[in-house]
Amino acid sequence: MDFCMELPKGAASKLGEMGVESIIKQFKYMIQYKNIIANLNEEHNNLDSLRQSLQGWVDAESTKGNEIPRNVLNWLSKEAEIEAVLESFYENKVNKNKKCFWGQCINFAFNYSLGKQATEKIEVVTRLNEEGKQLSLISYRKDAPALGSTFIENYKSLESRNQIIQVLIEKLKDGQLKRIGICGMGGVGKTTLVKELIKTVENKLFDKVVMAVVSQNPDYEKIQRQIADGLGLELKGQSLEGRGWEIFQRFKEFEEKNVKVLIVLDDVWKELNFELIGLSSQDHQKCIKILFTSRDEKVCQQNRSQDNVHVSVLLHDEAWSLFREMAGNVASKPDINPIASEVARECGGLPLAIATVGRALGNEEKSMWEVALQQLRQAQSSSFSNMQECVYSRIELSINILGVEHKSCLFLCGLFPEDFDIPIESLLRHGVGLGLFMVDDYVWKARNYINYLVNSLKKCFLLLDSEEPGCVKMHDVVRDVVLKISSREELGILVQFNVELKRVKKKLAKWRRMSLILDEDIELENGLECPTLELLQVLCQRENREVNIWPENFTHGMTKLKVLYIQNVCIPKTLSHFHASVNLRTLQLEGCDVGDISIIGKELNKLEILSFANSNIEELPLEIGNLEFLTLLDLTGCDYLNSISPNVLARLSSLEEFYFRIKNFPWLLNREVLNELRNISPQLKVLEIRVRKMEILPCDMDFKNLEFFWVYIVSNDSYERCGYLEPNRIQLRDLDYNSIKSSVMIMQLFKKCEILILEEVKDLKNVISELDDCGLQCVRDLTLVSCPHLECVIDCNTPFSAFPLIRSLCLSKLAEMREIIHAPDDQETTKAIIKFSNLEKLELMFLDKLIGFMNFSFLNEHHQLIHSGLSSTTKLTDSTNIEDGETSRSNPDGCRPSSVSGKLFSSNWIIHFPKLEIMELLECNSIEMVFDLEGYSELIGNAQDFLFPQLRNVEIIQMHSLLYVWGNVPYHIQGFHNLRVLTIEACGSLKYVFTSVIVRAITNLEELRVSSCKMIENIIVYSRDGKEDDTIKGDVAATIRFNKLCYLSLSGLPKLVNICSDSVELEYPSLREFKIDDCPMLKISLSPTYIHANQDSLNNVTHSKNKEDDNIEVNNSNSSTCPPAGCTPFLSKFFHKGNANKRINKEVSITRAPEDHIPSSFEMKMKKGKSHMPVLEDLCIGKCDFLEFIFFHKEKVNFLVPSHLKTIKIEKCEKLKTIVASTENRKDVTNSFTQLVSLHLKDLPHLVKFSICGPYESWNNQIDK
């Protein structure tokens, strides 16, 4: 019976519990709805981050033309649907609740509904998050850098050129113009101008800009490759047509996605086959514009240019200003100034002539100036009959005043094709073979001299820098002048493409130097009679060697030939080719298919330089040992070589340079080679050698006489040199310390080594003193990677100064390294030993135990000394030096900067880096502070001293323990004034970046990026000391000004509340681009704070939708967060990055901004009759369901729209009734859109009129009519 009574009691109890839980759950919906919405925001952020990663991978794979898995696309589709649901929920529910009776009325029923709906959506979002994490993600490569960022900064701002750039920008904005030409004579500066134009329009008018150099003889394969590289496209086709089709398809994809592309074709000489390149016909170009540069306007017309812009010579004032800059102070001397003015006038306003003549005369005496002026005036009456020839005469002057050897070097450069990267080593070997340079018989000494000549010619602007290491380029106009001069002098230089050779065959008797450029599949003829020829260079620009077969008797009529250089040619019967070439001193068969080369040793006994670089020789025959005068043997890249005959190297008694960088050479089968190499080692001056293991090299090899060397002891790929003038290099990988120490050769070369790379070296505890107790006096670049036992770089238990010349220090993946310098207790001894006065670049990566530069115990002792000595005299300013009430706010963890242990630059080391320019820190997880400035006043002995005066770029990434970038900052800090770029990413413990004091020091900061720092609450923490308190109390707020900051990006900062405290006003007078992404707590409207911008300064603002600030209120008269009138007066483009359906680039996206007495609208604020956005061109509004009109005009106020507005695009605005609404009848309402060329209206079911005028009450009547 009791059981029967207990059963209903138990059931009732259980039901009661369930009822109570249900009631509690319902009350939670109503009471805790804010927390529920916050949880929803967090889950939404996680979902958005996952979507960005997936979308980035999809975009990267689509760029490669790969197919995207269906499950990934389905997931993205689901995410977009949920994003739309959440957006509607935020807009219709959450924000409505915020604004209900100005937040004064509590609606419990509404709150209950809000909490319940948010809970349901959390479940949906969480489930989708889990599904997304199950998808396979593949990392995708970063986009190539913007084209404009790759150009060398050598542009001289000239008013006439700036005006042309502005004209070109307006033409590029014109939707009707698809092809535009830039015309002007050679050397007038077309290429320089177009590069500056690219910097201006890239990422503003165009999403992508690509540039291809065409030249006089178009190489379509090269043009395709340049365009494809700019587009990030990997060409897979084998034929020109196939690759062109791939480029065409990519442009079709761009058109479908509305991606705007500018294609620059530089130096066009003739009509181009656009279909072969991959460019569609003009009628199909919607988002693509083409810009030509050419010397001939007719060429632009032939290529169907719709409009041409002429680039003329400079006017007198600009020409004289440029000339004085090029010539330097000498042009201002009283006795030279009148002559210089006349010389500048004779240059005819041509920038290239002004630059070359000015530089050439820059260091000359008055007599040389008078000679130059006389020659220039005589050129006016010479055989030059037109302006082009007059230009040549001016460049010829700068050539004529060169010394003999400078001129010889320049003429050698003329042997190479246009726009060619000319190897400086080729100039050396050609010149030595011809006996042009008055140097000792040592080739390695001549190498330094040729480099000096090249640098001198570059300073005169007769040669140009090349992007390829070890190379130089020549301006095509200068090249034309060089060839013209040489054709009428005894030099007899002939440069011909093979298709033109037949036309000059009968006139070859006078030529002394000939360069043949094989660019087509045609055969060269036998028996070319050139009895005076001394140099023959044959360059094949096609990589298919089998197509270009060398004629058997081609050189038989060249009895005086001294230099023969053949590249990428097949020479199957080498035995019969060199019988008549007995006077050869330089022979280079590079990248060639060669047969039996034994005849070279039999017949060419005067040979001094022999190179088979990158050719396919398999054996170095015994006969090569007969070359008793051979001083240079180059076998670089001869990876097919598997045998060197015995007694070859031993008999090369004059050999001084030996290049033997070969992969997988069978050393064990050629042991005799090592013995011979050891025997000739005293005579070697230059050596490059690569072996897989240290054991291969004999321990007693002696190379103490080497002047230049590159030694690689690696098992796989190495950091190979790019030129023959690179510093001495040693690279060791996968070795142990004892094997290194036992090698006499390596220990000797350490004394002269300039680049030292150690990877996976075991049992090595420090570099100094274990490798070189003399301190590695010559090392400039030091790289240490994955050395498992390395504890420090420098052990100060040595009497020598360590690394006095070091410029670059890279430390990576050193698991046991706690300190870079292990120092004794004697501070003075330590400072004498260690000097980083030349260090320019510092990279520290994956050093988990690193706690600073100096020994930790020593630092603590030193810190105590400084602290005790300064405690009574020095007050330091930091976020912790504020009153107690503010300390907890700035440092919630209660940690003071002076109490942290891991300080990278401790206070006693901050003055030892006067030349440091670049610093990169990655995953050094024991570092808590980067710059410790405690004791600064005592350490700086001179008022003129600055800390880190050259530091330009700082990157701090994934430093998970980092608490402070700058700590213990004194009020009167001097330093860091050259810092230009600061990047901070994924530093999970960092709560702020700057104190206000350090901001005042970094006056030249241009770019600031802060991302993925989950604890950051402020970018700037205001700090002050006791003396400053009285000055800021009152109505006047403190002001912090970033004078030169032009780029600001804040992303992935979930706790960021403010950029700075509310009492501080920030100013960015130079800000051009501002991006915010995933900062849910940041309370801003259009901008983070007041931005007092100069005209045309703020061109680009990106605002990414914040989860708790869904309403981006561009104009809300009731909002206290809106910036005041004038704070963003020249906004050009406003980017809003929300979900995938809402994001539209290069336009303004506006969400609801209600008035208190009229329907929702977007209103351009005005002050004194001026619009806030006077240069706005594109306005895009999408999915604003409460918006009833776009522009609103009140009574007695002039109606103004942005004067540059050209495009209006409005979609999916459910309640939109009109574009313009006015409370009075005004004709200027519709007449204000004078520049509008495109009006796009879509999915606007209630739109009936473009404009409605009159009182608000009458609008419905007008709509009904």
The identity of residue 843, as a single letter, is E
CA angle 595, 598, 599 (to 5 degrees): 95
Percent of the chain with pLDDT over 90: 20
Give the three-state DSSP class for 1007.
strand
Q: What is the mean pLDDT of residues 248-274?
A: 88
What is the reported pLDDT for 830? 56
List helix spans (H) across 489-553.
none
**Does position 951 have pLDDT exceeding 50, yes or no?**
yes
Who wins on pLDDT, 301 or 1036?
A: 301
Which DSSP letter does residue 838 get? T
Q: Answer yes or no: are the C-beta atoms of 223 and 277 closer than 8 Å.
A: yes
Most confident of 17-31, 817-831, 842-856: 842-856
Closest CA to 922 of 853, 856, 842, 857: 842
Q: Angle 523-527-528 (CA atoms, 0-180°, nearest 5)? A: 80
Residue with tokens 């060669």: 594
Rounding to the nearest 10 degrees, give the CA dihedral for residues 14, 18, 24, 29.
170
What is the pLDDT averaged over residues 441-465? 85
Give phi and psi for 711, each to the nearest 5.
-115, 125
Mean pLDDT of 702-724: 83
Mean pLDDT of 1215-1222: 79
Secondary structure (DSSP) of 282-324: GGG-SSEEEEEEES-HHHHHHTT-SEEEE--PPPHHHHHHHHH
Q: Of the spans 147-161, 194-208, 1052-1066, 1192-1206, which averages the highest pLDDT?
A: 194-208
Cβ neighbourhood burial of 171 (10 Å; 0-12, 13-18, 19+): middle
Question: What is the reported pTM?
Answer: 0.66
Highest mean pLDDT among 92-101, 1016-1025, 1083-1092: 1016-1025
Using 50, 70 and 90 to split pLDDT, how confident is the model at 1012? very high
- Model confidence at 1231: pLDDT above 80: no
pLDDT surpassing 50 at residue 210: yes
Helix (H, G, I), strand (E, B) or coil at 266: strand
Q: Where are the domains of the chain?
A: 32-134, 147-310, 316-488, 723-821+833-839, 844-1033, 1144-1265
Return the number of other C-beta atoms located less than 10 Å from residue 644's C-beta: 23
Handedness of CA 1056, 1058, 1061, 1064 (dihedral sign): positive
Give the confidence band of 1027 by pLDDT, cuts at 50, 70, 90.
very low
Over 727-769, what HEC string results?
A: CCEEEEEEEEHHHHHCCHHHHHHHCCCCEEEEEEEECCCCCEC
Q: What is the DSSP letter of 70?
A: H
On the question of pLDDT at 846 being above 90, the answer is yes
Distance, in Å, from the CA atom of 267 to the CA atom of 284, rounded to the nearest integer, reads 25
Q: Identify residue 163 by its one-letter amino acid code.
A: Q
Phi and psi at residue 409, to the nearest 5°: -65, -45
Which token pair is 524?
């060269």
Residue 1247 has pLDDT above 90, yes or no: no
What count of Cα atoms within 13 Å lies in the side-chain half-sphere of residue 11? 5
Q: Which residue has the higher pLDDT, 74 or 1092?
A: 74
Quick one: pLDDT band at residue 138, thresholds 50, 70, 90? Answer: low
Q: Tokens 């570099």 identify what position?
A: 767
Q: Examine the pLDDT at 1157 and tell me if it is beyond 60.
A: no
Three-class DSSP category at 267 = strand
Res. 1036: pLDDT tops 80: no
506 HSE (CA, 13 A, CB side): 1
Residues 6+ apart with CB under 8 A from 1072: 1046, 1047, 1097, 1098, 1099, 1100
- The stretch 561-579 carries a mean pLDDT of 79
Sign of the torsion angle spanned by Cα atoms 595, 601, 603, 607? positive
Q: 464-523 pLDDT, tens per residue? A: 888 888 999 988 778 888 888 887 766 677 777 655 555 555 556 678 888 888 766 656
Return d(Cα 823, Cα 856) in angstroms, integer: 9
DSSP string, 1190-1258: SEEE-TTS-----TT--EEEEE--TT--EEEEESS--TTTGGG-TT--EEEEES-TT--EEEEES-GGG
Most confident segment among 707-711, 793-797, 1193-1197, 1222-1226? 707-711
Higher pLDDT, 461 or 1095: 461
**Surface-to-core class of residue 980, CB atoms within 10 Å of its CB (0-12 exposed, 13-18 middle, 19+ buried):** middle
Q: Assign 523 to helix, strand or coil.
A: coil
Identify the pLDDT of residue 1162: 38
Q: Is the pLDDT of residue 1026 over 70?
A: no
Q: What are phi and psi of 538, to 5 degrees?
A: -125, 115
Most confident among 198-207, 517-526, 559-568, 1095-1104 (mean pLDDT) = 559-568
Average pLDDT over residues 658-667: 90
- The CA distances from residue 1061 to 1008, 1076, 1188, in Å, are 18, 18, 37
Nearest to 758 by CA among 742, 702, 918, 766: 766
Sign of CA dihedral 235, 236, 239, 242: negative
7-25 mean pLDDT = 53
> What integer is the mean pLDDT of 691-708?
84
Q: Which of 748, 662, 653 is nearest to 705 (CA)?
A: 748
* pLDDT attached to residue 1120: 31
958 versus 1249: the higher-pLDDT residue is: 958
Closest CA to 1146 of 1178, 1108, 1169, 1182: 1178
Residue 953 has pLDDT above 80, yes or no: yes
Under 8 Å CB-to-CB from 623, ≥6 apart: which residues? 598, 599, 600, 601, 602
Average confidence (pLDDT) over 1193-1197:
54
3-state secondary structure 207-225: CEEEEEEEECCCCHHHHHH
Give the separation between CA 557 and CA 581, rounded to whole angstroms. 9
* pLDDT, position 1143: 33
Q: Which residue's entry shows tokens 């006791």?
A: 1026
Cα distance between residue 127 and residue 454, in whole Å = 66
> Has residue 793 got a pLDDT over 70?
yes
Residue among 770, 766, 767, 764 at smallest CA distance from 756: 767
**DSSP character string of 1028-1057:** HHHHH-SSPPEEEE-SS--EEEEES-TT--
Question: What mean pLDDT, rounded, does the chain reach?
Answer: 75
In this predicted model, which residue has the larger pLDDT, 133 or 383?
133
Mean of the pLDDT values across residues 848-865? 63
Alpha-carbon distances of 475 from 269, 458, 695, rounded to whole Å: 15, 11, 50
**Packing angle between helix 443-459 and helix 404-413, nearest 10 degrees?**
80
Is pLDDT at 175 greater than 90 in this prediction? no
Higher pLDDT pick, 633 / 459 = 633
What whole-number percentage of the chain has pLDDT above 70?
70
Query: In this structure, are residues 1006 and 1046 in contact, taking their beta carbons and an 8 Å threshold?
Result: yes
User: How far apart, in whole angstroms, are the C-alpha atoms of residue 555 and residue 536?
Assistant: 9
pLDDT band for position 1150 (cuts 50, 70, 90) = very low
Tell me, what's the pLDDT at 889? 38
For domain 147-310, the CATH architecture is 3-Layer(aba) Sandwich (3.40)
Helix (H) or strand (E) holding 565: strand 563-567
| Residue 1085 pLDDT exceeds 70 | no
For residue 728, give both structure tokens: 């001495």
- Inform me whether the pLDDT recorded for 350 exceeds 50: yes
What is the predicted pLDDT for the residue at 628?
A: 92
Q: CA-to-CA distance for 626 and 648, rounded, in angstroms? A: 8
Stretch among 7-21, 288-302, 529-543, 1182-1196 having the lowest mean pLDDT: 7-21
Residues 140/61, Cβ–Cβ less than 8 Å = yes
Which residues have a Cβ under 8 Å from the Cβ of 1093 and sit 6 or more positions away? 1068, 1069, 1071, 1127, 1128, 1129, 1130
Write down the pLDDT at residue 39: 81
17-31, 59-73, 927-941, 995-1009 — which is least confidently predicted? 17-31
CA separation (Å) from 1069 to 434, 841, 1072?
A: 60, 31, 9
**Closest by alpha carbon to 841, among 917, 734, 938?**
917
pLDDT the model gives residue 108: 63
Looking at residue 14, its pLDDT comes to: 47
**What distance in Å separates the CA atoms of residue 800 and residue 769, rounded to the nearest whole number?**
10
Q: How confident is the model at residue 89, as a pLDDT?
A: 77
Residues 991-1006: what's their mean pLDDT? 90
Which pLDDT score is estimated for 315? 84
Give the model's pLDDT for residue 453.
93
The candidate with the shortest Cα–Cα distance to 262, out of 156, 355, 182, 362, is 182
pLDDT for 702 equals 81
Q: Is the pLDDT of residue 998 over 80?
A: yes
Interval 1194-1218 mean pLDDT: 66
CA gap 372, 278 in Å, rounded: 49
pLDDT tens per residue, range 879-890: 333 333 333 334
pLDDT tens figures, 43-64: 888 888 888 888 877 777 776 6
Euclidean distance between the first and the last CA atom of the chain, given in angstroms as a whole number:
83
Q: Which of 1258, 1238, 1262, 1237 is nearest to 1249 (CA)?
A: 1262
